[in-house]
Amino acid sequence: MRAEIDALGLERYVDDSSRRKGREQIAGIKVLHYQFDNVYGEQWGVPDILKVRDKLVADTELKVIDLRRRNLLAVLVSSRMAGATSQHVVVDEERRREVQIELSAKECIKHFEFSRRMERQSGDLFQHHPTIEMFYEDLVADTDQETNRVLGFLWVERRKLSTKLLRQRTKPLSETITNFAELRDQFVGTEWEHFFTE
């Protein structure tokens, strides 16, 4: 995908990806909350990220599926695991690699605050768009109900959807984070405390 973005330019790539090409009922793109931040564009060499963002924001007919995670600690762990294993997507059970990681309280706080700020920014940017809010945890717990909600929102015929993607982490956070108990104790009484309950 990155090669295609580099070849076409981000704006054309987004235009092409979000337009129906055949008999599809709907077309769309996936954008993570933090990808509309100018720092992200600079870091990854995508200079026209804000131009594309502004174009999408201006199109108020665009429907937004706001998929979030309730537990931002789980997001941080997934990100760190992907970096440690170089596996950002897992589709083969035999190739899944579980690792243990250590986190600092400072790293956690930085991630929690940044994530919430990006969620708020996205909410503000797309406040005039038809939007459905979803949580990853609900999607995993009741895939059929949640996908039916999305299909209804998109006015697409309801059908059973599936994915070949597998979860990166199969063990609880307390077994994946080597210093979990220490972190949990440090976050007692904070707004982030609930991320450390399983």
Is the pLDDT at 48 greater than 90? The verdict is no
Overall average pLDDT of the 41-48 stretch: 78
Strands in the chain per DSSP E: 64-68, 131-135
Comparing 20 with 118, the larger pLDDT belongs to 118
Is 89 a member of any domain? yes
Is 31 a member of any domain? no
Is 123 a member of any domain? yes
What's the total number of domains in the chain? 1
With left for phi above 0 and alpha for psi between -120 and 50, is residue 171 left, alpha or beta? Answer: beta
Is 11 a member of any domain? no
Comparing 112 with 80, the larger pLDDT belongs to 112
Is 179 a member of any domain? yes
Is 78 a member of any domain? yes
Is the pLDDT at 103 greater than 90? The verdict is yes
Residue 30 pLDDT level (bands cut at 50, 70, 90): confident
Overall average pLDDT of the 161-179 stretch: 80
Q: Please count the other Cβ atoms lying within 10 Å of the Cβ belonging to residue 172.
A: 10
Is 196 a member of any domain? yes
Overall average pLDDT of the 99-122 stretch: 94
Comparing 93 with 43, the larger pLDDT belongs to 43
Is the pLDDT at 174 greater than 90? The verdict is yes
Is the pLDDT at 17 greater than 80? The verdict is no
Is 54 a member of any domain? no
Residue 109 pLDDT level (bands cut at 50, 70, 90): very high
Lowest mean pLDDT among 85-99, 100-114, 133-147, 172-186: 85-99
Contact 20, 26 (CB under 8 A): yes
What is the residue range of 88's domain?
68-130+157-198
Contact 35, 49 (CB under 8 A): yes
pTM of the model: 0.82
Of the chain, the percentage scoring pLDDT greater than 90 comes to 46
